[in-house]
Amino acid sequence: MKHNPFAWIEIPVNDMERAIRFYEMVFQLKLQPMDFGGLQMAWFPNAGNDVPGATGTLIKQESYVPSQEGPLVYFHSDNVQNELDRIEEAGGSIDQPKTQISEEHGFMAVFMDSEGNRIALHSMH
pLDDT in tens, 13-24: 999 999 999 999
Residue range(s) defining the domain that contains residue 106: 8-123
Lowest-confidence range among 5-14, 47-56, 104-113? Answer: 47-56
Percent of the chain clearing pLDDT 70 (strictly above): 98
Asked if 107 and 75 touch (Cβ cutoff 8 Å), the reply is no
Residue 63: inside a domain: yes
Domain assignment of residue 14, yes or no: yes
Q: What is the 3-state secondary structure (H, E, C) of 58-105?
A: EEECCCCCCCCCCCCEEEECCCHHHHHHHHHHHCCEEEEEEEEEECCC
Query: For residue 1, is it within any domain?
Result: no
Kindly report, residue by residue over 56-103, the tens digit of the pLDDT: 999 999 999 999 999 999 999 999 999 999 999 999 999 999 999 999
Q: What are phi and psi of 21, to 5 degrees?
A: -60, -45
- Cα atoms in the Cβ-side hemisphere of radius 13 Å centred on 65: 5
CATH number at residue 119: 3.10.180.10
In a domain, 3, yes or no: no
| pLDDT winner (highest mean) among 1-10, 25-34, 51-60 | 25-34
Instruction: Evaluate whether 108 touches 125 at the Cβ level (below 8 Å).
Output: no
Residue 92: inside a domain: yes
pLDDT at residue number 1: 58
pLDDT of residue 84: 98
Residue 13 lies in a domain: yes
pLDDT in the model for residue 53: 80
Provide the number of structural domains found in the chain: 1
Give domain status of residue 2, yes or no. Answer: no
